[in-house]
Structure 1
Amino acid sequence: MFTIIGAAGNVGYSTSSALRRAGIPVRAILRDRTKAARLSDIGCEIITADLHDAAALAKAIDGANAVQIIMPVSPRAKDPADGLRRSIESLFEAMAQARPKQVLAISDYGAHVADDIGMPSMFRDLEVRLAQLETQLLVLRSAEHMHNWGRVIPMAVASGILPTFQDPVDMAQPTISAHDLGLIAADLLLRPESGKELEVIHAEGPHRYSANDVAAVVSQLSSRVVRARAVPRSQWQAMFERTMPSSLANLLIKANDAKNKGGLVEISPNAGDVRYGPTSLIDALRPLVLPE
């Protein structure tokens, strides 16, 4: 039996579905039981638990052969950065109590960087803490998810301008479909045990894309000419803080600075296994531009 923490999200649901298709029992751990319907429909056992309640998490994962961890961000929290730190400690305590044979943690490109580069550094902290467990740890570092562009697509179609924090707008960056990432995670969970105490694997899509590439895809799908335009660095703080607390804004600003610098939010040097999902940018963005 495999347990998926954060099973209601795009990645978690994709992993859960793949495991169920393989005939594996799946226990889905959710914060909000109202999101359980589609997981119940595919035969998952549903348990609700607060990610900050280590005792409840340990009880929920008790008996699992493997646990997949997806650490969610709560943008509505008063201090999302502090919430992430509390989640890391709670997850560690829960795993230490339940002692599953294997833990697969979804991490981030750039988590190998020692300097503070915002969000990837939070995942570095997660990796370091989980590495202290007496269990087999599999770290799956993910490129940025393609569906994150969905936040600005309506604005781009309406105005003809795709605002982006990527600068320059023609710099290709690694990205991946969340669905593909979930399938890669499921494949790793289903494979024979490697025997390694710690293994780091990277995952990205079939090609790297720039903001210009995104604008071209949105143009093609919407039949509207759309051009990418970099948001001036001086406006970032105000733009982020319109929709989120300052602590989360700072994590994202640092991450975007690191991406634009190049070479940081990347595959780590001397990386071993890199997995490539098959979904192209146009296929990932099609349902966002042309919703049913």
Structure 2
Amino acid sequence: MFVVVGATGNVGFATSLALRKAGAPVRAVVRDSTNAAPLRELGCDIVLADLNDADAVAKSFADATAVQIIIPVAPRDKDPAAALRHSIDSLIKALKLAPPKRVLAISDYGAHVADDIGMPTVFRGFEQLLGQLDVPKLILRSAEHMHNWARVIPVALESGILPTFHDQLDMTFPTIAAPDLGRIAAELLLRPADERNLQVSHAEGPRRYSANDVAAALTELSGRTIVANAVPRSQWKQAFEKNMTSSLAELLIKANDAQNRGGLVDVEPGSADVFHGETVLIDALRPLLARF
């Protein structure tokens, strides 16, 4: 039995789909049943459990061969950063209460960096807590998701300017389509169990892209000229806080600073275990434009 926590999300659903296609039984853990119909159609067992209810989540782990966990970020929460850390603590407690045979945890590029670089540092703490568990662990660090560009697509379509926090418009960075990440996770879960207590892998797309590449893809898809424009560093805080609380904005500002420095929000040095998705940027952006 494979248990997928957060199975209604883009990554969790993709993992569930890939596992079911392989004929594996899946128990999908969801917060509410509103969006569970597609999972039921796949043949998943549905279990309702709030991530912050460690006892309920632990019960969903019963008899699990493996559990996939992903920590969701809730930008609309009163304090998303605190909620993120609370969810981590709750999941760790659940894993201690009901240890599965294996755990696959979705983490973040840059989680190996000791300095405080915002969001990746939160996941560094997550990995450290996981390290205390006496169960075999697969940590899959994910590059930034391609669908995150959806936040600024309306502005780009209206103005012809793609705002970006990448201060070097031609600097390429790792990114991945969420469905590819879920599929890679499923492939790892279906592999025979490894004797190692801890494995760390990375996942990104078929190639790396720059902000200029994103603008070019949007130009091709929309039929109008769109150019990338770096948001001045002095305006970042104001720009982020239009859509989120200051605590979450701080995490993302630090992460973008680290990304612009280069080599930090990236594959851990010396790691050769990097998986590549198949979805190219323009194909990931195509359905996003259909929303506007």
Give the TM-score normalised by the residue count of structure 1.
Answer: 0.98
Instruction: Please name the residue that 1:261 is paired with.
Output: 261
1:98 deviates by 0.7
**1:189-214 per-position Cα deviation (integer Å, ceiling 9, x unaligned):** 00111211000000101110000000
One-letter amino acid of the counterpart of residue 111, structure 1: A
Q: Secondary structure at the match of 1:58?
A: helix
Counterpart in the other structure of 1:144: 144
Partner of 2:82: 82
Q: Deviations over 1:258-284 (max 9, x none)?
A: 001111001001113110111111111
Match of 1:12? 12
Q: Contact 1:200–1:272 (CA<8 Å) still a contact in 2?
A: no
Provide, for residues 63-96 of structure 1, a one-character-per-residue CA deviation record: whole Å limited to 9, x for no partner: 1110000100111111111111111111111001
Corresponding residue for 1:280?
Answer: 280
Counterpart of 2:274, as a letter, is V
Q: 5+ unaligned residues in a row in structure 2: which ranges?
A: none
Q: Which residue is 1:186 aligned to?
A: 186
- Take 1:254 and 1:209, find their aligned partners in 2: how far apart are those partners? 21
Shift of 1:32: 2.6
- SS state of the match for residue 68, structure 1? strand
Structure 2 counterpart of 1:96: 96
In the alignment, which residue of structure 2 is the partner of 1:270? 270
Q: Shift in Å at residue 224 of structure 1?
A: 0.4
Displacement of 1:291 after TM fit?
4.8
Matching residue's letter, 1:128: Q
Provide the residue aligned with 1:110 in structure 2: 110
Query: Secondary structure in 2 aligned to 1:34?
Result: coil
Deviations 1:135-186 (A, max 9, x none): 0000000000111111111221111000111111111000011111000000
Distance 2:213 2:16 in 1: 31
**Aligned twin of 2:123:** 123
Partners of 2:54 and 2:154 lie apart in 1 by 39
Q: Write the distance in 2 (CA, Å) between the matches of 1:248 and 1:20.
A: 35
Offset, 1:290:
3.6
State the distance in 1 between where 2:154 and 2:246 align: 25
Contact 1:111 1:121 in 2 (8 A): yes
Displacement of 1:48 after TM fit? 1.4
Q: Write out the 4+ residue segments of structure 1 that deviate beyond 3 Å after TM superposition.
A: none
Q: CA RMSD in A?
A: 1.0
1:54 corresponds in structure 2 to: 54
Question: How many Å separate the matches in 1 of 2:75 and 2:237?
Answer: 15
| In 1: Cα distance, 2:195 partner to 2:165 partner | 41
Q: Which runs of 5+ in 1 are unaligned?
A: none
